Amino acid sequence: MLDWTDRHCRYFHRQLTKHTWLYTEMVTTGSIIHGDPNRQLDFNDAEHPVALQLGGSEPDELAKCAQLGEQWGYDEININCGCPSERVQRGAFGACLMAEPGLVADGVKAMRDVTDIDITVKHRIGIDDVESYDFVRDFVGTIAEAGCSTFIVHARNAILKGLSPKENREIPPLKYAYAYRLKQDFPQLEIIVNGGVRTLEEIDEHLRHLDGVMIGREAYHNPWLLTAFDERYYDDQPFCKTRLQVVEAMLPYIAAQVATGGPRMNSIVRHMLGIMMGLRGAREFRQKMSDAKALACGDPRLLWQAALALPEAA
């Protein structure tokens, strides 16, 4: 979800669900240590519970960034061992780390030594032509021995050469049974599945076997799905706002961000394009809110007017 689940996206998603855990886009340890940590780590308190996802492989750097993440107030630190992009591979992290479980274990231990919050790992079920379940079982077992108790399993192989990140999300077949077997083999661990989940019914089925489900692109493209989560999975009251009310709640945030010289309005609104999915006029709404030239004025009333044009949003 690189360049997708930034802090503006997460603030918007928090308007739709109070309890669902939100994850940052992958932030590299180098960008935090050698760049501007405020820019990389700042977030709005409304985002809690929120996890910082790190990309890196050096235990000392992971430890330093985990420590900073805890100081910034994150609720969890997650190590990305699932991203297959060649850019990430050049940094020797992401999915290629699955070939080095000992190094990942060292990173987990180094992070646990300096923080009190949960350290979790997101990973694939294999790399390239390694199809054996034993591979991911041994990977999880090695990391668990270092003290990690939560694993987020993207239930596809990562093809490190020859496929783009997009193709890596579509071509390698999903093997949810591997995640189910991990839970059977490691009942003491929290096993969360990721990959290809689009409906509440699919979530329900996975929860019959596992501890949790991570939703990625479906939550981004169809964010209204999130409004069912608090009642269905967290025993809270039903979501009672309309789409128009959610848009209205975002207006002060957008105005404040633009007024401080922060992001342009379209950098925030782009995360909201899917909120009207399924309604008459949704296409026109997306078109209006994708017009960077029109949004350059920074006036959030443009968003409000576009939303008002959809009677079903009220």
Write out the catalytic residue numbers: 83
Task: Return the sign of the alpha-carbon dihedral for residues 203, 204, 210, 211.
Answer: positive
Task: Give the single-character DSSP code of 270.
Answer: G
Compute the residue count for the chain.
314
Task: In whole angstroms, give the CA distance from residue 63 to residue 188.
Answer: 25
Q: Which residue, among 107, 76, 77, 113, has the nearest Cα to 92 in the 3D structure?
A: 107
What's the CA angle centered on 54, arms 203 and 266, to 5 degrees? 75
Within a 13 Å sphere around the CA of 185, how many CA atoms are in the beta-carbon half? 15
Supply 83's token pair.
Answer: 């991203």
Task: Give the single-character DSSP code of 238.
Answer: P
- The DSSP string of 120-141 is EEEE-SEETT---HHHHHHHHH
